[in-house]
Structure 1
Amino acid sequence: MTCDEQTFTMKPGEFQALGTGEIAYVKPMTSDDLTTLFPQAPRMRPGLNLWVLLNADGTPIMLSDSRETALANAAEHQLHTVALH
């Protein structure tokens, strides 16, 4: 680090909001875990493979049985999708 560089500290809430409304990610899940993100969701057959579109802060946006549909929804709302590793 040189003398010209600066370090910025972000508060937890500021860091959590980073990218919200601009960046989203698509995550696979099963119907068994559905109520963790969607508490009001109707009961579904166990073991179904689903895809969830999440805002950068982890807030769920939509649920689908197709990855392509979740990605299309992100594009429709001008959200940039990123991969998680």
Structure 2
Amino acid sequence: MLEEKNTIRISKDELAHLGEGQVGYVRKMTSDELIERFPGAADLQAGLNLWALFAANGTPIMLSDDASTPYVTAAENQLNTVSVH
């Protein structure tokens, strides 16, 4: 049996903006990971467990030491959240 597959082609620019203003992702990270990924970030104590909310394109939105805060912030900004493990 043959299956028909529908594909959508989008540009790299369209992909970069996919979900913009609609989707945010929450990720648990250590302060060490954040310092490595975002060298310009505010001074953070090493070894902290933190929760970050990012825009769909990876732009950081907020950082917290409380797991529920990123979800509350996302809801306040009408973002649908997904978790990244």
The verdict on a shared fold, with TM-score over 0.5 as the criterion, is: yes
Give the TM-score, by structure 2 length.
Answer: 0.83
- Is residue 2:61 matched to residue 1:61? yes
Distance 2:39 2:13 in 1: 22
Deviation track 1:3-26 (CA, whole Å, cap 9, x = no partner) reads: xx7532101110121001100010
Instruction: Report the RMSD for the aligned CA atoms in angstroms.
Output: 1.8
Structure 2 residue matching 1:82: 3-state secondary structure: strand
Distance 2:34 2:71 in 1: 19
1:47 corresponds to: 47
Q: Residue type of the partner of 2:84?
A: L
The unaligned stretches of length 5 or more in structure 2 are none
Distance 1:26 1:11 in 2: 26
Q: Residue type of the partner of 2:65?
A: D
The number of residue pairs the alignment matches comes to 82
Give the TM-score, by structure 1 length.
Answer: 0.83
**Deviation above 3 Å: which 4+ runs of structure 1?**
none
**Contact preservation (8 Å) 1:34, 1:41:** no
